Amino acid sequence: MREAEKKIWPRAALAAECARLRAEGKKIVFTNGCFDLVHAGHASTLQFARKQGDVLVVALNTDASVRRLKGPERPMVDEQNRARMMAALECVDYVTWFDEDEPKELVAELLPDVLVKASDWAGYVSGRDIVEARGGRVLLAPMVPGLSTTILIAKIRGQPPA
């Protein structure tokens, strides 16, 4: 796990690293989310994202941000362990956090070439305007039907999915 933890970067340091990578001609891909209980749907989105460029940055909502978005019982897994899980995935190059409810400010700091979200975000992708204004692309990754953290938590609790 020590090698994987080298992929976890503080936000400001990652902005400088992205500038360095861009100067080397690398295409930076960005995606974000809570990634609370990582499942095959997440893996599919991350693998799709990785194929879109040279470097994949995954930005995680902090625990406080997840609570604001998902309610007081979430996250199920704390931000440090969610970051470790993301960093352990071969397709992920960098991991960081954002405390805002959406990552628009972080997108403005990192300036990715490609922004990827799962297709359930088709109506609104935070940071789209920033990426497209720089000539970048926003792509929607195909969803794996029936897989979501909300559905998994409902199953674990023996409740019908919301």
Which pLDDT belongs to residue 1? Answer: 52
Is 162 part of any domain? no
pLDDT in tens, 28-62: 999 999 998 888 899 999 999 999 999 999 999 99
Instruction: Using alpha carbons, list the distances in angstroms from residue 14 to 10, 84, 155, 158.
Output: 6, 16, 37, 41
Is 161 part of any domain? no
Which pLDDT belongs to residue 120? Answer: 75
User: What CATH number is attached to the domain comprising 51?
Assistant: 3.40.50.620
Which pLDDT belongs to residue 153? Answer: 72
Is 25 part of any domain? yes
Is 111 part of any domain? yes
pLDDT in tens, 117-158: 987 766 789 999 999 999 999 999 988 777 677 777 777 778
Is 130 part of any domain? yes
Which pLDDT belongs to residue 52? Answer: 98
Give strand pairing partners of 139: 116
Distance (Å, rounded) from C-alpha 109 to C-alpha 112? 9
Domain count of the fold of the chain: 1
Is 60 part of any domain? yes
Residues 107, 126 contacting (CB under 8 angstroms)? yes
Structural domain containing residue 118: 2-156
